[in-house]
Amino acid sequence: MPLTPEEFYDHARTAADGELRLPLSRMTEWDSSPFERDGLRVAPLRPPQLPEPPRHGEDPAACDMCRNRHDDVWHDDRWRLTRSDGVGIPLALMLLPRDHFDLADLPDDMAAQLGVLTTHIARHVEALPHIGRVHVHRVGDGAAHLHIWFLARPEGHLQLRGSWLPVWDDLLPRYPTEPAERDATRVATALTESYGGTCRQG
């Protein structure tokens, strides 16, 4: 039988200290970790919150991702691609369905499109000459409208590789807007050529 939320919490507490702090993760031993283990400690483990609070956009009428469509770098009749500003890595793109769907709600034909689109976008981001790799993420805890992240790791910066890239992105100073815009336009143009749709002009 799977553990209930309360049983999961009790199970996790068996590994915690008297302040309910778990030991540091194995990931903090990786050479890509942005943190030194000395002085680093885990936040106290909190009990489950039930029922969970609603995510942003559970009500489609209040969904910002449905309303804010002015920042597309590419779109077709079912999908849109945006560039996130204020990030520390060279390029962060987000793919969203134009209509209000979460991942588990996607019709099968859109799920198939998502796979093809993800491959095309990753291919075009990794074709940029200064990008070493693109990381593709779907988390879904913050918003109910499906959004797939494409995070570009700068070439040669191996310390930023792997699962820690989103944390490094948060720590790094803001990447200049102009080159990020140019890269987003290059990806959108290539996507239009390889997949279809329309890229933003200018």
Domain with residue 192: its CATH number is 3.30.428.10
3-state secondary structure 173-185: CCCCHHHHHHHHH
Q: Which of 53, 74, 91 is the last residue of a domain?
A: 53
pLDDT, tens only, 3-23: 899 999 999 999 999 999 999
Q: Is the pLDDT of residue 202 over 80?
A: no
Of all residues in the chain, the percent with pLDDT exceeding 90 is: 94
Q: Are residues 139 and 90 in the same domain?
A: yes
Q: Which domain holds residue 139?
A: 60-199
How many domains are contained in the chain? 2
| Ranges assigned E (strand) in the chain | 72-75, 79-83, 91-97, 131-137, 148-154, 198-199
Q: Are residues 68 and 18 in the same domain?
A: no
> Closest Cα to residue 146, out of 118, 183, 186?
118
How far, in Å, CA of 67 to CA of 56, rounded? 13
Q: Are residues 114 and 155 in the same domain?
A: yes
Q: Are residues 133 and 183 in the same domain?
A: yes
Q: Are residues 43 and 72 in the same domain?
A: no
pLDDT, tens only, 104-163: 999 999 999 999 999 999 999 999 999 999 999 999 999 999 999 999 999 999 999 999
